[in-house]
A and B are shown apart, each in its own frame.
Chain A
Amino acid sequence: MKIAVCVKQIPDPATPYELDPETHFVVRPNDQVLDDTDRYGIELALQLAEATEGSVTLVSMSPAGGLQGIRQALAMGADKAIIIDDESLRGSGALGTAKVLSAAIKGEEADLVIAGTESTDGYVGLVPQMLAELLGLPALTFAKKVEQADGGLRVERQTALGYDVVESPLPALVTVTSGAVEPRYPTFKGIMQAKSKPIEQPSVADLGLTAEDVGVAGSGQHITAVEPAPERGGGVKIVDEGEAHLEIVKILEQAKVI
């Protein structure tokens, strides 16, 4: 099975994010890390590829920087990476990102495309569905378990109340939830080999796209202002003198929770 996994390099979430005061875009340092939630998709891809003697290609649209995040993903065992970093991509929205990823994945003739449910820096959560549409693939989202079945896939799809069982032929696109699989640690041998694995860096033009398709122009969006989130109110303090539970019930009733 040929598998493409969408991954993203993001600024280390342990350090506070900075926004550029003019463009309002996140300032991206040279040193970035692999988005932690991508490790689940990579693990799933590696398991499926190992079971089918297949291959795993990472596809990423993000500032290349020092490629640390991509190397981390390659060290887990992926075979190669395609990373698209182009000045014209700055300010791309979900649709622009999906266009770029789909153009890169088309050349790979993947049987399966895997993505996370949303990125940890953007939290938009729309790219995978748009990508499936552009690639003409069924989108199996929020998978908490993925198995091969009858030449296709059987997926347990997380819902608000439990899960649905969904089946689909291949090719298809799957988004995996965090915790769906147990991501492996990169092995030291993997880390040593990662630097000699191929990393392709096509330009937007190489992918057959123009500057109008991507970036601020392609997004159809314009960030007019950024405001800090309002501070949370202080809440209500109830001192328990034996009757506190009644007060809490009253508040919950008022909020129509019970």
Chain B
Amino acid sequence: MTKHSVRPGSVTVDPRDFLAVDALLDDEERLIRDTVRQFVGDRILPGIADWFEEGIFPIELAKEMGSLGLLGMHLDGYGCAGTSNVAYGLACTELEAGDSGTRSFVSVQGSLCMFPIRAFGSEEQKQEWLPQMAAGEAIGCFGLTEADAGSDPSSMRTTARRDGGDWVINGSKMWITNGSVSQLAIVWAKTDEGVRGFIVPRDTKGFTVNDIHQKLSLRASVTSELVLDDVRLPADAVLPEVVGMRGPLSCLNEARFGIMYGAIGAARACYEAALDYAGERMMFDKPIASFQLIQRQLVEMLVKVNRGMLVAMHVGRMKDAGTLDPSHISFGKLDNVRMALEVAREARSVLGANGITLEYPVIRHMNNLESVLTYEGTNEIHTLILGNKITGIPAFG
């Protein structure tokens, strides 16, 4: 192996890809990333400040994302593109550089709803739902959390009991992304055999959905309550291939993987906004980027964003190679989301008063990331998962 010496000036360093992570990608991954970046630039960024302010998710985006191949992109067959896990991650980074709400939509559809049907569904369920979900014609939501069962979902109160050949579900689910824009819900409920998943079509009698208002985070994303009052479903509504908490938890692993990558997108957008702003904003007759204190803030952001991407790429390659343990995803989710929140807050301060408006993306990302920190396992829960892994001592309860 030839050893190269470092020659200053012989290599161009890109402030927006400082560690040249681009070189770690293959052509296909690069093309997918660039396509999503372009889509976000054309279709998300021009409208996002208004959608956030008005508290809407423009549902027409679903079909556009479907025709691109974004929905369930890393699943095989049934109309899905079948990309690598890294490609899915990179798409999440680009989507979340737009807005965490857009990325949440894709995470819920692909990882929380299509994944369980693909992994645990019957052949009929797969054929009925997956192609229309991949196309964005049917939207799913994922009902696990309840008002009194968050970090400990196994304490859920929603039940499903057999009645003749049917199932009857009672209970409610809280904080459910995409609830009121969905055509089907994957609802997890306690049965005599353990927790099981059900496909509940939106128009089923006894199933109602109420949106949660007055959110100050993820405003360009729909969050709802699902109420199931004697909801009667045929025997074939249950996902046949899984019983127990392994079902919902394996969905969460998929989605958390995407969040680990996604958070870097939000952080990158904040860092780039701060870098641009600092170069242009004049104070004391100089661009504020000329002050040491501001440079330090920019460099802290730079280091965090790049480090987060290296972690994600490493975990992503492990997932594609089949050498991943779920605790590796906890490592990435824990560190990358808190990293992104720190970067967003730092960028917010660099932008001064402008940093609190929707004219710049920073405070929107900062507020969104508060949700991202909480959902899909809070920081504390991922800390406990890692603590358990390295000590062998569970400290959850």
Instruction: Report if B326 contacts A (CB, 8 A).
Output: no
Q: Is A68 within 8 A of B68, CB to CB? A: no
How many angstroms between the C-alpha atoms of A189 and B83 in the bound complex? Answer: 8
How many angstroms between the C-alpha atoms of A191 and B87 in the bound complex? Answer: 11
CB neighbours (8 Å) of A186 from chain B are 31, 35
Is chain A's interface secondary structure helix, strand, loop, or mixed overall?
helix
CB neighbours (8 Å) of A189 from chain B are 69, 81
On whether A191 and B82 interact (CB within 8 A), knowing A68-B30, A185-B68, the answer reads no
Instruction: Report if B78 contacts A (CB, 8 A).
Output: no
| Count of interface residues, chain B, beta-carbon cutoff 8 Å | 17
Classify chain A: how many residues form its interface, as a range.
10 to 19
Q: Is B69 within 8 A of A66, CB to CB? A: no
Of the candidates A72, A75, A187, which one forms a contact with B67 in the assembled complex, judged by CB atoms under 8 Å apart?
Answer: A187
On whether A192 and B81 interact (CB within 8 A), knowing A66-B27, A187-B67, the answer reads yes
Instruction: Report if B264 contacts A (CB, 8 A).
Output: no
Instruction: Report if A188 contacts B (CB, 8 A).
Output: yes
**Interface hits, A51-85 → B, CB 8 Å:** 66-68, 71-72, 75
CB neighbours (8 Å) of B35 from chain A are 185-186, 188, 191
How far does the Cβ of A68 sit from chain B's closest Cβ, in whole Å?
Answer: 5
Q: Is B68 within 8 A of A191, CB to CB? A: no
Q: Is B38 within 8 A of A185, CB to CB? A: yes
How far does the Cβ of B106 sit from chain A's closest Cβ, in whole Å?
Answer: 12
A–B Cβ pairs within 8 angstroms, 28 of them: A68-B27, A68-B30, A71-B27, A71-B31, A72-B31, A75-B31, A185-B35, A185-B38, A187-B67, A187-B68, A187-B69, A187-B81, A188-B32, A188-B35, A188-B68, A188-B69, A188-B81, A188-B83, A189-B69, A191-B28, A191-B31, A191-B32, A191-B35, A191-B83, A192-B28, A192-B82, A194-B28, A194-B31
A-side residues, CB < 8 A to B, are 66-68, 71-72, 75, 185-189, 191-192, 194-195
Given A187-B67, A192-B28, A194-B28, 18 additional A-B pairs, CB 8 A: A66-B27, A68-B27, A71-B27, A71-B31, A75-B31, A185-B35, A186-B31, A188-B32, A188-B69, A188-B81, A191-B28, A191-B31, A191-B69, A191-B81, A192-B81, A194-B31, A195-B27, A195-B28
B-side residues, CB < 8 A to A, are 27-28, 30-32, 35, 38-39, 67-70, 73, 81-83, 87
